[in-house]
Amino acid sequence: MTAPGTPKAVPRAAAFFDLDRTLMAGSSGFHWARAAHRAGLLARRQLLADVWANVQFRLRGSTDQGTERVKERVGAWLAGRRVVDLDRLAPGVLAGVLPRLYGQMLEVAYGHQDAGRPIFICTAASQETAAMLAHVLGFDGAAGSRLEQVDGVYTGRFDGPFCYREGKPARMRELAEAHDLDLAASHAYSDSSSDLPMLRAVGHPVAVNPDRELACAAAQEGWEVLRFETLGRSLKVAAAFAAVAALGGAGHVVHRRGRRSATR
């Protein structure tokens, strides 16, 4: 309890960062799946499905239906598993995630931190994932989806709100209360229209690698937009090269056929 007469802390601004497609390319969940497969905890068939889902996520972002399917599947997979077995996957997860971080976004985050604004990861990923990355990256804290555990075993249920859509500002308010933060003066960064509640909870929203709906909202509301994702551009370039190669091959065939006809 604060002693009588002690000046009350003045709320300060902070910066909140979504994780997947905002701080990093792709999905952190994919790297959990890959580490689980290597440890013999996940079937190869499911890993291949997660590989494709990760590509789709990088290209198009998240959807409510896709997120709900992942939530249900992960909950069912976690039920009855020991917490320690998941903890042991952390080195493999970090080995996959760290090379995929956007250096530009880390510069943005550390710029806030150097200016006196604490920085937080705010993600639908598990609280364990969010806290681990916040610690490794030197962030001031994290808010993720809490996984319920009893006697060292996951139940497959969530403990509190799922940190998605309205769940994100709810967790941000928890952080604001715990750290004396002023959300109206704070910044938030995210890629998805599902995070419009998160972005609208602060005074300075920024769209990062935005999906179509978020890009439209950012344009209408005059928000800053940052773009770092390159997979879609790379695929378009690859497709263009493939088309040129195909045309070149077809032309070569036509040319050879023409020469043969001329010599008959």
Active-site entry in 20, 191, 195, 211: 20
Active-site entry in 18, 50, 195, 211: 18
Phi/psi-derived region of residue 102, left when phi > 0, alpha when psi is between -120 and 50, beta in every other case: beta
Active site residue 182: no
Active site residue 20: yes
Give the dihedral sign, CA 238/244/247/248: negative
Residues recognised as catalytic: 18, 20
